[in-house]
Amino acid sequence: MMSVSAKNLVFGYSSTPVIRDVSFQVDKGEFISILGPNGSGKSTLLKTINGLYIPSSGRIELMGENIERYKRRDIARRISLVPQDTSLQFEFTVEEVVTMGRHPFKGRFEKEDERDRKLIYEAMEMTNTFDIRDRLITEISGGERQRVYIAKALAQNTEIILLDEPTSHLDINHQIDILNLLRRMNQEKGITIILVIHDINLATRFSDRILLLKKGSIISQGTPEDVITTENILNAYGMRAAVERNRYTGHISVIPLEVNKRIRSELNIKVHVISGGGSGQDLINVLYHRGYQLSLGVLNAGDTDWQYARSLKIPLSEEKPFSAISDRAAKKNREMLAVADLVIMTNVPIGGGNLRNLKMAWESLENGKKVYYLEDRDYDEFDYTGGEATALLERMIENGLIVVDSMEQLLRAIS
């Protein structure tokens, strides 16, 4: 039985698609890994599968039906998503976070019933998070936090779980632990697993099939033995590698030998990005590969956007995890803002911790700099400052803030 399929899928933010004519099928109970270099469209494809992005052509089918026929709540009853960024700036307990997995099945003011509590506690037991259920999500380790979000997905009780780099910034012990957990859920409960992952050797060890992407296109799909070949690794990653069967695990293993150098031409346009929580990743990717000279800030260390910027060696102003912006970080951010030709903000939710970013963008606007606001996603809540952020944003709009509602519109405006 088919769980998800893509048919001639095309999606992009401008005239150049990020996803190009992608077709594949995932059967019920499969464990699928999506591989590819940075900028190949892996996370974008995952969000399109989940119905967060609407393709410009082609379609996603969920249980044999076009996903566009489903309401958002109906999708959430069938697909759960474990995001790449599992950091929270609000002091929810572990149990409260896991309970959020039941929200798609409840009315606005409806309380959890006995069945909900049963699913919540079973999810915490299966992920070994029951003993930390009363601890704050802000006070546990990265590996524990990943388990909590997987527990939330389990409590959601869907047939399909999507995961965006669930092993990123974890040590090897926790990586294996998380993937063993996912494989056990897959085998014992028949849950379909689709995950984006960077580690090729972990993908070959745990996956039934692999999709290998390059520049938004699938260049190979099939079993690990079919997909992970020296030719495909060279084609996708520009890397010469030896591919052999690991004598200890029995799975296909890649040994890097040599990387071909790639040269990226740069535009003489400096862009400072204010984002966070993964809201800037697609923007950073597009601007970086178009050659803009980027800087970012202020971002908390460990944030998804922080990780991506660090991987591309983009200058940034950073703050300690779960900390409000300090004078030191603000000073560095203002230095970057001063030399930038333009500023782009994403519509990341604003709380006490990052309100200062919005205030520094307002300073840039007052100083005559062009500031853009990319409003390309919806949040249940945006303002966690008691209205201060909303009032400031409205004031900025009145004084020249340029609001755009899509990546395509933004790229036209800045070019």
Q: What residue segments make up the domains of the chain, in order of their start?
A: 2-255, 270-414
Q: What is the 3-state secondary structure (H, E, C) of 79-145?
A: EEEECCCCCCCCCCEHHHHHHHHHHHHCCCCCCCCHHHHHHHHHHHHHCCCHHHCCCEHHHCCHHHH
Predicted confidence (pLDDT) at residue 88 exceeds the cutoff of 80: no
- At 177 the pLDDT is 86
Place of tokens 């933010």: 13
- What percent of the chain lies above the pLDDT cut of 90? 51
Q: Is the pTM of this model over 0.75?
A: no
Q: What is the CATH number of domain 270-414?
A: 3.40.1190.20
d(CA 286, CA 19): 13
Sequence-separated contacts (24+) of 112-121 with Cβ below 8 Å? 119/154, 119/155, 119/157, 120/95, 120/155
- At 138 the pLDDT is 86
- What percent of the chain lies above the pLDDT cut of 70? 95
pLDDT tens string 95-154: 999 999 999 888 777 888 899 999 999 999 988 899 999 999 888 887 888 889 999 999
Sheet with 65-66: strands ordered across? 17-27, 2-12, 57-62, 65-66
Identity at 31, one-letter amino acid code: F
> pLDDT higher for 272 or 84?
272
Mean pLDDT of 258-269: 61
d(CA 126, CA 150): 10
Place of tokens 């996370």: 43
- At 263 the pLDDT is 46
Among 42, 51, 50, 56, smallest CA distance to 285 is for 42
pLDDT tens string 278-311: 888 888 888 887 888 999 989 988 888 888 788 7
The secondary structure element, H or E, covering residue 6 is strand 2-12
Domain 2-255 of CATH type 3.40.50.150: no
Which residues are within 8 A (CB) of 195 and not within 5 positions of it... i.e. 6 or more apart?
32, 33, 34, 162, 163, 164, 165, 166, 182
